[in-house]
């Protein structure tokens, strides 16, 4: 065989091999085509320590996974998230992922993503859409369970008490899944005990500043407050400032049960200022990027992936504090 013919055959074979490797057999855009997966991520905002940790997790995991992340901070406004999703559609990203600031009002823009054949993954919070074809998976906590855990602790904590237990509640962002579900879970867990009376309940929008402001109002309007149930640690930490400025001892005069389990709350627990904390895990980045790759590879993914999380007493929080990642 002439050298020239042999050279052509070898080249041909090499091209065939490269193409085969390139296609990867999975037909995934990220295999061999040299196309780097691009994810459009619309984040709620930067309202709390939990959110900061969640953002860091998503950004670090994207980098580790070799995925290009187009990140948008909605400053807790739904219209900003809708704008960001539309922009991701125009940019023809491979996957859209977002944490919906509120549960309702997403069908139109999610239909636009569906019509553009861009899969959507919900992370952290859920939407109340009835059309399940509008997203491929929801990765995040069970907020009803979190509210139940907080209520179950209260029932045990006051098992020996017969008198009324006056509770004030700092709710999360109005209309958000965590606020709705943590409220209902807590109510479910305490409904069998008439001594528990929620004497005031108002949104603190998941922020320290608003949590402090609303707790100041509660302290003025309520003659007797036994317990604060805060839907997140940042509102609890703001409320602690208000309680101390009113000359009362948080954790003693007013017991506090909260949700998230961020480092600053663990510090407050070690100081006896928060009595129980239900963890809500913000470190969703690795699971999200794994889902992105599977979705793009055309693999089946679970519709619902619940995150693992625990609960903390002050002793447990104090022990966990030195190694707490967020």
Which of 50, 138, 266, 276: binder of ligand GZL (CB under 6 A)?
50
Q: How far is CA 266 from CA 5, 119, 258, 314, in A?
A: 73, 38, 11, 7
Which of 41, 88, 135, 206: binder of ligand GZL (CB under 6 A)?
206
Q: How far is CA 169 from CA 72, 214, 235, in A?
A: 31, 10, 10
Which of 178, 211, 238, 285: binder of ligand GZL (CB under 6 A)?
178
Please give the Cα distance from 244 to 263 (Å, whole number).
20
- Residue 141 is a binding residue for ligand GZL (CB under 6 A): yes
- Residue 226 is a binding residue for ligand GZL (CB under 6 A): no
DSSP 261: -
With contacts defined by CB under 6 A, name the span among 45-53, 103-111, 214-222, 318-326 that binds ligand GZL. 45-53
With contacts defined by CB under 6 A, name the span among 44-52, 158-166, 221-229, 239-247 that binds ligand GZL. 44-52
By beta-carbon proximity to ligand GZL, the closer residue of 28 and 176 is: 176
185 forms bridges with which residues in the sheet? none
- Residue 81 is a binding residue for ligand GZL (CB under 6 A): no
Neighbour count for residue 202 (Cβ, 10 Å): 16
Binding mask 277-316 for ligand GZL (x = CB under 6 A): ---x------------------------------------
- Residue 47 is a binding residue for ligand GZL (CB under 6 A): yes
Location of structure tokens 């549960």: 103
CB of 294 to ligand GZL, least distance (A): 22
Location of structure tokens 């193409």: 19
- Residue 51 is a binding residue for ligand GZL (CB under 6 A): yes
CB of 158 to ligand GZL, least distance (A): 24
- Residue 230 is a binding residue for ligand GZL (CB under 6 A): no
Q: Give the pair of three-digit tokens for residue 172.
A: 């999360």
Burial of 21 (0-12, 13-18, 19+ CB in 10 A): exposed
Nearest to 203 by CA among 230, 237, 242: 230
Q: Report H helices in 24-142.
A: 49-64, 78-90, 107-115
Contact, 84 vs 116, CB < 8 A? no
Please give the Cα distance from 236 to 211 (Å, whole number).
7
- Residue 180 is a binding residue for ligand GZL (CB under 6 A): no
CB of 246 to ligand GZL, least distance (A): 24
Return the SS3 of 169: strand
Binding mask 263-282 for ligand GZL (x = CB under 6 A): -----------------x--
Q: How many residues bind ligand GZL (CB under 6 A)?
A: 15
Contact, 234 vs 208, CB < 8 A? yes
- Residue 69 is a binding residue for ligand GZL (CB under 6 A): no
CB of 199 to ligand GZL, least distance (A): 23
Residues at the site binding ligand GZL, with contacts judged by CB under 6 A = 47-48, 50-51, 124-125, 140-141, 178, 206, 232, 234, 259-260, 280
């Amino acid at each position: 065989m002439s050298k020239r013919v042999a050279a052509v055959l070898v080249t041909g074979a090499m091209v065939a091999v490269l193409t085969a490797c390139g296609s990867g057999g999975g037909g995934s855009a990220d295999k061999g085509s040299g196309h780097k997966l691009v994810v459009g991520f619309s984040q709620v905002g930067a309202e709390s320590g939990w959110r900061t940790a969640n953002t860091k997790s998503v950004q670090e995991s994207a980098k580790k996974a070799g995925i290009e992340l187009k990140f948008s901070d909605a400053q807790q406004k739904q219209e900003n998230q809708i704008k960001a999703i539309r922009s991701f559609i125009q940019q023809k990203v491979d996957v859209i992922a977002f944490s919906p600031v509120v549960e309702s009002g997403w069908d139109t823009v999610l239909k636009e993503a569906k019509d553009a054949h861009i899969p959507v993954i919900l992370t952290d919070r859920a939407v109340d859409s009835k059309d399940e074809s509008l997203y491929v998976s929801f990765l995040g906590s069970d907020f009803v369970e979190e509210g139940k855990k907080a209520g179950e602790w209260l029932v045990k904590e006051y098992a020996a008490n017969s008198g009324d237990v006056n509770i004030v509640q700092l709710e999360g962002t109005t209309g958000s899944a965590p606020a709705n579900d943590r409220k209902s879970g807590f109510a479910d867990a305490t409904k069998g005990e008439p001594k528990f009376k929620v004497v005031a309940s108002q949104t603190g929008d998941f922020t320290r500043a608003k949590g402090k402001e609303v707790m100041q109002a509660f302290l003025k309007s309520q003659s007797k407050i036994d317990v604060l149930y805060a839907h997140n640690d940042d509102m609890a930490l703001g409320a602690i400032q208000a309680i101390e400025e009113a000359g009362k001892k948080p954790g003693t005069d007013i017991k506090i049960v909260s949700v998230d389990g961020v480092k600053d709350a663990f510090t407050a627990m070690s100081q006896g200022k928060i009595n129980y904390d239900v963890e809500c895990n913000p470190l969703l980045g690795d699971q999200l990027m794994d889902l992105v790759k599977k979705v793009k590879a055309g693999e089946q993914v679970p519709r619902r992936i619940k995150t693992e999380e625990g609960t903390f007493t002050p002793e447990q929080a104090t022990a966990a504090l030195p190694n707490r990642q967020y």
